[in-house]
Amino acid sequence: MNNIIVKPNQTLFDIVLMACGTMEGAMEIAEANGLGISDSVSVGQSINIPDRVVANSKILSSIKESKIVFGTKG
């Protein structure tokens, strides 16, 4: 299981994109963290990313290579 620490202006959906490259894992990530998909997350909060979550490796590689950090709140 991996963790992502919430940065300023990030939502759970931003974290899901950073972890999966798509929104497919939103329900699994929310559930693994005791959250609903529309729940707020706090700066500094650790979000667990279950190993079973499906990721799009092509998109993830592009996100990581480009050093993109999503922050769509506010």
Per-residue pLDDT of the chain (74 residues; tens, 9 = 90+): 799 999 999 999 999 999 999 999 999 999 999 999 999 999 999 999 999 998 999 999 999 999 999 999 97
Distance CA 25, CA 11 (A): 14
State residue 58's pLDDT score. Answer: 94
Which residue ranges make up each domain of the chain? 2-65
User: Which of these, 32, 38, 23, lies nearest to 52 by C-alpha position?
Assistant: 32
Distance CA 44, CA 60 (A): 22
Quick check: helix, strand or coil at residue 3? strand
**What's the pTM value of the predicted model, to 2 decimals?**
0.88
Q: Where are the alpha helices (DSSP H) in the chain?
A: 12-20, 26-32, 57-65
> How far does CA 21 lie from the centroid of its chain?
9
